[in-house]
Amino acid sequence: MNFLFYIVPAASVIALFFAWFFFHRMMRESEGTVTMKEIAQYVRDGAMAYLKQQYKVVTIVFIALAVFFAILAYGFHIQNPWVPFAFLTGGFFSGLAGFIGMKTATYASARTANAVSKSLNSGLKLAFRSGAVMGLTVVGLGLLDISIWYIILNIFITGPSESQILVTITTTMLTFGMGASTQALFARVGGGIYTKAADVGADLVGKVEAEIPEDDPRNPATIADNVGDNVGDVAGMGADLYESYCGSILATMALGASAFFGDPDGQTKAILAPMCIAAIGVVLSIIGIFSVRTREGAGLKQLLKSLSIGTNLSACLIGVITFAIFYVLGFDNWWQLSLSVISGLAAGVIIGKVTEYYTSHSYKPTQKLAESSQTGSATVIIGGVGLGMISTAIPVITIAVAIIMSYFCAAGFTFDPANISYGLYGISIAAVGMLSTLGITLATDAYGPIADNAGGNAQMSELDPKVRESTDILDALGNTTAATGKGFAIGSAALTALALLASYIEEIKIGLVRIGTTALHIGDRIVDVTTASIPDMVDYYQLNLMNPRVLAGIFIGAMMAFLFCGLTMNAVGRAAQKMVTEVRRQFREIAGILEGKQRPDYARCVEISTKAAQHEMVFPSLLAIIAPILVGVILGEAGVIGLLTGGLGAGFVLAIFLANSGGAWDNAKKYVEDGHFGGKNSECHKATIVGDTVGDPFKDTSGPSLNILIKLMSMVSIVMAGLTVLIHG
C-alpha cells in the first residue's frame, strides 16, 4: 500500500477527535433554567424515542437485505461475497453518524438559547460548532469505513494480476455505499415525514385556527415540531450527505481503477487521489470551522459573512491544494485533473448562490411572490410553483457545464470516445471536489435546526422576548444556510449518481465474467470482457438511446421520481391530518390549555408523529429498492441504464424545483411578517401561511428524499448487476 494512503485514516481520526472536542466543549456550557432543561429533555426524549423506533424498522430491513445478498453471493454465486458485510458496515456507520449528530443537536439547543441570552456571538459559535460535530462525524466515519475496507480487501483479495485486484477491490468497496444509501433512505423519508407531519399539523391548528404564535407552549404539537427538526434536518441530512460523500469517493476509485487498467501504478494513483482530496478537505474544513468567529455586537449580515468566510476559505484552499495533490501523486495531467475538481467546487458554490437568490427575501423573486399574496392564497401557490420551476434553469445549466468541463479537462481536452474513461473519472472527481469540504458545509447546515430549536426553547421557556429576537436572527441565518445546503446536497447527489451510473458498466462486466461470459459481441467486434476497458464498451448496445429498452427505462425512471415524491407528499398529508385531529382533540378535551393554565400532552403528539412516520415510510422506501431490481429483471441492463438516466434527469430537476418553491414560500411568509403587505395577521399573511404549509413537504420531505432516490437506485442497480446479467446475459 502506498504510504500516502495513511493520511486517510489519519484524517478520519483528526475529524473524529475534533468532533469529540466540540461536543465536549458544548457539554460544559450551562443548559439554563429548570424550564429550559425540562423542554430540552422533552425534545431529547422524543428524538431518541423516534430514532429507536426507526432503527428497529431499519434493522429488520437490513437483516432481510443482508440475508438476500448472502443467498445471491453464497447460494447462486452471482454476487460479490463481501457485499453482505460491506452493506452492513455502510448502514451502521451512517446510522451512527446520524445518531451522534442528532444527540449533539438536542443537547446544544437549550445551551444555545442560554448562550444567546448572554451574547449573540457566543450563541452563534456554540450552535455552529455543535453543527460541526455532525459535519466532522460524517466525514470522519466515512473515511474510517473507507480505510477499514481498503485495508481488509488489500489483505484478502488476490487475483491473476495486480490490475485485476485493484478493480475488484474498488468495485467491492463501492457496494458498501448500498448500506449507506438504504440507511439514508429511511432517515430522509422517515425523518422528512415526521418533521413535516408535526410542522404542518402544528401550523394548521396553532397558527391558522387558534391563532397562537409558532412554538407557543400551549400548542400540543410544538415539541413534536422541534423533535422533527432534529430527526429530519439533522439526522436525515447527515445520512444523505454521508452517502454522497462515500459514494462519490468510492465511485471515483472504481472508475480510476478501470481507466488505468493494465497500469497498476496509474491505478493506484487514481485510487488514492479521491481519498487524498477528501482527507485534505477534512483538515481544511477544521481550519474553516475555527475561522468562523465575529466581533462582539455583529449584526446578521456580518454573521452571514463570517459563515461564508469559513466555507469559502475551505473551498479556495482545497482548490489550490488539489493541484499539489495531483502533482505529488505523479499525474502527468495534474493540472487538468485539478481543473475537473475545481469545476465541481465551482458548481457547488454557484448552485448555492442561485438557491439563495431564488429563496431569500432579500431578492426580487421572493418579494414578488409575497406581493402575489394580495390576490389570495391561490396566486401565492401558482407563483411559488412557477418560481420553483424557473429556478431550475441555472443550477441545471451549471451542472451541465460542470459535467462537460470536468470530462473535457480530464480527458485531455477532447471528447474522443477513446479517452472516455479518463473523462468519466473527471466527472466523478468533480463530485469529490464538490464534497471535499463537507465537514464545514454540513456544519452550516446542521447549525440551522439547532438555532431553530434554540428559538423554540426560548419561546416555550418564556424567556425574555429579547432572547427570542436574538434566536430569530440566528434562525434566519439558519434558513439561508439550509436553503443553500439543500442546493448543495442535490447538486452533489446528481454528480455522485452520474459517477455511479458510469461504474455500473464495470459491475456488468464483472457480472458477465462471474457467469462465465467472457466474449461479448459489441457491434461487429468481439470484446474480451475480462480485459475490456470502457472505450471498448462504448458501442455496447445497452447504452444506446435508440434501444427501446433504454427508452422505456428512461420513461419509467422519470416517473419513479414523481411517484416517489407523490407518495411521500401524501404521506405527509395523511400524517399531518392525524396530528391536526389530535391537537383539536386536546384543545377540546383538556380544559385550560389555551389559557396557559394546563400543559398539553406533548408526548402523545410525539408518539403520533413517530408512528405515522414509521408507518408511512415503508412503502415508498421499499419501492425505491425494488423498482431497479424489477426493471433489471424485466428489461435487462438497458432498462436499468435508462431507469437511472431518466430518474437522474427528472429527479434532479424536480428536487431543485421542490426545494426552491418551498424555500421561497417560507421566506415570502417571513417577508410579510416583517411588515410588508399588511404584516402579521393580515389577509396577505394568511395567504403566505398557506404557501409555507404547502412548501413544508416540498422542501423538507419529498425534495430531499429525491437525492436519496437517485443515488439509491444506482446503488441497488450496481449491487444487483449480477442478477440482471444472469437473467439477460
* Footprint (CB under 8 A) of a copy of itself, residues 435-474: none
Q: Which stretch binds a copy of itself (CB under 8 A): 33-41, 263-271, 399-407, 674-682?
A: 399-407
Name beta bridge partners: 569: none
Scan for cell 487521489, then name that residue.
273
63-71 long-range contacts, Cβ below 8 Å, gap at least 24?
A: 65/182, 65/625, 69/719
Report which of 267, 229, 205 is spatially closest to residue 112, judged by C-alpha positions. Answer: 229
The cell numbers describing 469, all together, are: 429576537
Query: Mask 587-626, x = binds a copy of itself (CB under 8 A)?
Result: ----------------------------------------
Complex with a copy of itself: residue 281 or 423, whichever CB lies closer: 423
Q: Which stretch binds a copy of itself (CB under 8 A): 17-25, 94-102, 375-383, 670-678?
A: 375-383
Q: What letters, b where the CB count within 10 A reaches 16 and e where it falls short, cover 99-114? A: bbbbbbbbbbbbbbbb
Q: Which stretch binds a copy of itself (CB under 8 A): 104-112, 169-177, 318-326, 401-409?
A: 401-409
Scan for cell 451542472, then name that residue.
399
For the chain, the maximum distance between any two Cα atoms, rounded to a whole number of angstroms, is: 83
Q: How far is the CB of 385 from a copy of itself (least distance, A)?
A: 6
User: Contact between 697 and a copy of itself (CB under 8 A)?
Assistant: yes
Complex with a copy of itself: residue 381 or 443, whichever CB lies closer: 381
State which of positions 485-514 bind a copy of itself (CB under 8 A).
494, 498, 502, 505
23, 652, 671, 677: residue in contact with a copy of itself (rule CB under 8 A): 652
State which of positions 525-564 bind a copy of itself (CB under 8 A).
525, 534, 538-539, 541, 543-559, 561-563
Q: Which stretch binds a copy of itself (CB under 8 A): 49-57, 65-73, 318-326, 646-654?
A: 646-654
Q: How far is the CB of 133 from a copy of itself (least distance, A)?
A: 34
Q: How far is the CB of 33 from a copy of itself (least distance, A)?
A: 35
The cell numbers describing 701, all together, are: 420531505
Q: How far is the CB of 369 from a copy of itself (least distance, A)?
A: 10
Report which of 610, 642, 616 is spatially closest to residue 628, judged by C-alpha positions. Answer: 642
Neighbours of 293 (CB within 10 A): 14
Residues 6+ apart with CB under 8 A from 87: 62, 65, 66, 69, 175, 176, 178, 179, 182, 719
Complex with a copy of itself: residue 445 or 616, whichever CB lies closer: 616
User: Contact between 653 and a copy of itself (CB under 8 A)?
Assistant: yes
Q: DSSP letter string over 634-680?
A: HHHHHHHHHHHHHHHHHHHHHHHHHHHHHHHHHHHHHHHHTTGGG-T
Q: How far is the CB of 367 from a copy of itself (least distance, A)?
A: 14
Complex with a copy of itself: residue 450 or 672, whichever CB lies closer: 672
Return the DSSP state at 529: T
Complex with a copy of itself: residue 211 or 524, whichever CB lies closer: 524
Report which of 131, 175, 127, 126 is spatially closest to residue 149, judged by C-alpha positions. Answer: 175
Query: Mask 207-226, x = binds a copy of itself (CB under 8 A)?
Result: -x------------------
Element (H, E) at 156: helix 120-156
Q: CA angle at residue 29 from 23 to 33, to 5 degrees?
A: 130
User: Contact between 383 and a copy of itself (CB under 8 A)?
Assistant: yes
Residue 448 contacts residue 127 (beta carbons within 8 Å):
no
User: Contact between 424 and a copy of itself (CB under 8 A)?
Assistant: yes
49, 389, 603, 727: residue in contact with a copy of itself (rule CB under 8 A): 389
Residue 420 amino acid letter: I
Separation in Å, CA 697 to CA 106, 153, 192, 558, 702: 23, 42, 8, 20, 6
106, 230, 244, 372: residue in contact with a copy of itself (rule CB under 8 A): 372
State which of positions 122-161 bind a copy of itself (CB under 8 A).
none
64, 71, 390, 626: residue in contact with a copy of itself (rule CB under 8 A): 390
With 0-12 / 13-18 / 19 or more C-beta atoms within 10 angstroms meaning exposed / middle / buried, residue 716 is buried
Q: CA angle at residue 440 from 439 to 444, to 5 degrees?
A: 125
63, 320, 378, 526: residue in contact with a copy of itself (rule CB under 8 A): 378
Complex with a copy of itself: residue 249 or 499, whichever CB lies closer: 499
Please count the CA atoms within 13 angstroms of the CA of 623 that sit on its side-chain side.
21
Return the DSSP state at 508: H
User: Contact between 396 and a copy of itself (CB under 8 A)?
Assistant: yes
Q: How far is the CB of 504 from a copy of itself (least distance, A)?
A: 10
| Runs of H (alpha helix) within 157-206 | 162-174, 176-202
408, 422, 671, 677: residue in contact with a copy of itself (rule CB under 8 A): 408
Element (H, E) at 519: strand 519-522
580, 659, 664, 713: residue in contact with a copy of itself (rule CB under 8 A): 580
User: Contact between 705 and a copy of itself (CB under 8 A)?
Assistant: no
The cell numbers describing 244, all together, are: 454522497
Q: How far is the CB of 546 from a copy of itself (least distance, A)?
A: 6
Q: How far is the CB of 609 from a copy of itself (least distance, A)?
A: 16
Intra-chain end-to-end CA distance of the chain, in Å:
36
388, 448, 449, 704: residue in contact with a copy of itself (rule CB under 8 A): 388
Q: Which stretch binds a copy of itself (CB under 8 A): 138-146, 159-167, 231-239, 689-697?
A: 689-697
Count residues binding a copy of itself (CB under 8 A). 94
SS3 track for 620-632: HHHHHHHHHHHHH
